[in-house]
Structure 1
Amino acid sequence: MPELTRKEYRQQQKQAEREAEKRDAKRVETEREYAKQAHDPDKAPKAPHRGDFDEQTFRKVNSLKKRLNWAIGIVVVLLIVVALVLFKL
């Protein structure tokens, strides 16, 4: 690997600095474009309407809710049992 002269080293540093400035300028421009889109309600992506469930999906969701509630309840009861066994209360 050849040794760099001071002049070559300075040139490399300036080149790296220019590239960093270009990246920063590009990043700032992209952020500005994003900010404009985020504040413009016409261009903002629309969230799906939550009331579009059909009957079958509604039943599945309710079934899963019940299962989740039971699972959480069982875990809580088991944690209490383990605490009682460990601490001999």
Structure 2
Amino acid sequence: MAEVNTRKAYREAQEKEQHAARAREAKRVEVEKDYARKTKGKPEIKNARFDEVTFRKVNSLKKRLNWAIGIVLGLLVIVFLVLYFG
């Protein structure tokens, strides 16, 4: 049989849970503030240098993209002309 709680016992249990939740939240906020203070002013700098291989790959992809854009635009013009004059 389930244990029967009185209203007073239930309220006390609820208050304990709320107090524990507030304490956890306060600790979490304090830890976050402490972390923010420690990491403030120390941004991570990523290495932005390109080596020769990466540079060649990027240039190759640029050329392919330019060709693809040009072909798509050309095909759009052809479709427009066919639909307009056809």
Distance 1:34 1:77, change over 3 A: farther
Query: What is the TM-score normalised by the length of structure 1?
Result: 0.62
Q: CA deviation at 1:58?
A: 0.7
Deviations 1:14-72 (A, max 9, x none): 1211221122112211221232133233xx4x222312x11111101222233334445
SS of residue matched to 1:21:
helix
Q: 1:47 aligns with which of 45, 48, 51?
A: 45
- The equivalent of 1:57 in structure 2 is 54
* Residues 17-26 or 62-71, more deviating: 62-71
Between structure 1 and structure 2, the one with the greater Rg is 2
Q: Which has the higher contact order (CA 8 A, sep 6+)?
A: 1
> Unaligned regions of 5+ residues in structure 2, if any?
none
CA RMSD of aligned residues (A): 2.9
Q: Percent identity?
A: 51
> Unaligned regions of 5+ residues in structure 1, if any?
none
Query: What is the TM-score normalised by the length of structure 2?
Result: 0.64
